[in-house]
Structure 1
Amino acid sequence: MPRVRVNGIDLNYEERGSGTPLILLMGLGADGSVWEEHVKAYEQHFRCVLIDNRGAGQSDKPLAPYSTRLMAEDTAGLMDALGIYSAHVAGISMGGAIAQELALLYPERILSLTLNCTWSHCNAYMKAVFSMLSDMYAMAKPDAFAKLLNLWIFTPQYHDENGEDLHNREAEALETMGRMPAHAFSAQCGACAEHDTRGRLADLKLPVFVTVGEKDIFTPPEHSLAIAAELTHAELTVFEGSGHTHHWDKLAKFNQLTLAFMLSNENGSN
């Protein structure tokens, strides 16, 4: 995968497909490859750019505080380096927070904005979650941390019906080489906790689609509903019975809806 020097760091990315650019921003601790099951659908229509956010994957992991705005500037720098002026932008969880800041910085460059299981600010509960995750990541073995995270992002029903999948995820975490260093995970947690776009989102006039799982306890639905309430023109879909991972456990529906939204907002290609 190629790397480009932007905003003082080397940023790793992958390109798939052709057509109008689609920037894909993943969540806390994850690299761009986690978009794989969505890109299989998206790349048939778009030039997909999967980004390893600073701190994740093969991108640089500086010893400094991160913010969602800083990571949005990273993304804009990558777009410049790739000759992309405007693009569809989609983000999951922390990626959705980065996408908000990117749209606020450069609204003229965003064809559409898809915000999945994200938030405009953290209340005391969410700040405590990110603080706890940061502490536990530094102390726990990789498989134990994966088990803890799975309890937050997958529903009880998913645990009942997909025990083997969850066990495999925990085993893979233990076997993974080059695990994200604790300082980088902590810096991303800090960026998540301090993200705040309240009162600014209403200025965005571009097409927005908001999705969330009905039973999300990691980024509870009221946060996505608050974004949709501020962006009064936004489309909103709540995935019944799903949690933070609604984009996986309702994969076909998620891909269909998000793809239809982006295709309906095509304004040419770059």
Structure 2
Amino acid sequence: MPNVERNGIRIHYTQRGKGIPLILLMGLGADGSLWELHAAEYEKHYRCIRIDNRGAGGSDKPAGPYTTEQMAQDTLAVMDQLGIAKAHIAGISMGSAIAQHVALESPERVFSLSLHCSWMACDTYTRRIFETFRSAYDVLPIEEFQRLLQLFIFTPQYHEDHLDDLLLRQQAAAAAKGQMPVHAFQAQCDACLAHDTMGRLREIQVPVLLTVGDRDIFTPLSLTQLIQQEIPHAELAVFRGSGHTHHWDQLEEFNRLTTAFLMKQREA
């Protein structure tokens, strides 16, 4: 298994495709495999490196708390191991928080930054969501926790139209081997709660793409708009009628738009 060791912690990653490197960072409680429907498109043009953040997937699951800064250093360690001097960096949700720190700490190693359903610092509402998830993961059966999660990340309309899909996701989560330990999930929640780049993102000079669903109640549109105020040159794409999972709800459009953004940097 491809792993990188940093300070005694193994970080797992997978690679596919050829070309300019594209680092893919997933969100809370998820591993890099959840990029599958996007990587299948990106790999036609890019060398895709999907990283399992510490605590998730094939990476080690040390005691917490974790921080988004720490996970950014894990990401850079993977780049070092693979001899990648510079890459496009894309992150979804918690992955976007990690990506912010990669760009802030090592701007010379970033071609572009794609931040999907992101935030600079939790507002009161989003903080309460992370705190609820943190507590619920410890007390609910995994299938019931998935139901709770789905209520926050999928829109009411998606529930109406795709209940079969949501039920299958619940069942798959319950049947999955190697479920994320409670301490690791809670440590990732701690990283999300502590994430704070307020007043710093204006330092970012590389091209930036922001995407968000206008029905997102987890990391609402207003949080992405605050990021755009900090990075005026950032492009903003709002996915109408979608929530936190806009990258799946409108997969074809998301892949088209994000690939076009990446390809545009080649021409610049």
Q: TM-score range by the shorter chain?
A: over 0.9
Does 2:200 correspond to 1:200? yes
Query: Take 2:199 and 2:178, find their aligned partners in 1: how far apart are those partners?
Result: 39
Residue 50 of structure 2: SS of its match in structure 1? strand
Q: Residues 116-162 of structure 1, C-alpha deviation per residue, up to 9 Å, x if partnerless?
A: 00100001211111111011001100110000000000000000000
| Structure 1 residue runs of 4 or more that deviate by more than 6 Å after TM superposition | none
Gaps of 5+ in 2: none
Percentage identity across paired residues of the two chains: 54
For the pair 1:107 / 2:103, whether they are aligned, the reply is no
Per the alignment, in what secondary structure is the counterpart of residue 264 of structure 1?
A: helix
The residue aligned with 2:15 is: 15
Deviation at 1:4, TM superposition (A): 1.6
Unpaired runs of at least 5, structure 1 = none
Q: Aligned partners of 1:250 and 1:180: how far apart in 2?
A: 28
**Offset, 1:267:** 7.6
SS in 2 for 1:21: strand
Cα distance in 1 for partners of 2:253, 2:33 equals 20
User: Where do 1:158-177 residues align within 5 Å?
Assistant: 158-177=158-177
**Within 5 A, what are the aligned runs for 1:224-263?**
224-263=224-263
CA deviation vs aligned residue, 1:86-135 (integer Å, no higher than 9, x gap):
00000000000000011000011100000000100001211111111011
- Corresponding residue number in structure 1 for 2:27: 27
Preserved CA contact (<8 Å) 2:4 2:77: no
Mapping of residues 25-174 of structure 1, within 5 Å: 25-174=25-174
Q: Summarize the Cα distance change of 1:236–1:131 in structure 2 as closer, same or farther, 3 Å threshold.
A: same
TM-score in terms of structure 2 length: 0.98
Whole-angstrom CA distance in 2 between matches of 1:96 and 1:8: 25
Q: C-alpha distance in 2, partners of 1:267/1:36?
A: 26
Letter matched to residue 58 of structure 2:
Q
Shift of 1:6: 2.2
Q: CA deviation at 1:9?
A: 0.7
Instruction: Report the Cα distance in structure 2 between the residues aligned to 1:8 and 1:96, rounded to whole angstroms.
Output: 25
Taking structure 1 as the reference length, what is the TM-score of the superposition?
Answer: 0.98
Deviation at 1:207, TM superposition (A): 0.2
Q: Following the alignment from structure 2 to structure 1, what is the Cα–Cα distance between the partners of residues 181 and 17?
A: 31
Secondary structure of 2:265's aligned partner: coil
CA-to-partner distance for each residue in 1:22-75, whole Å, 9 max, x for gaps? 000000000000000000100000000000000000100111310000000000
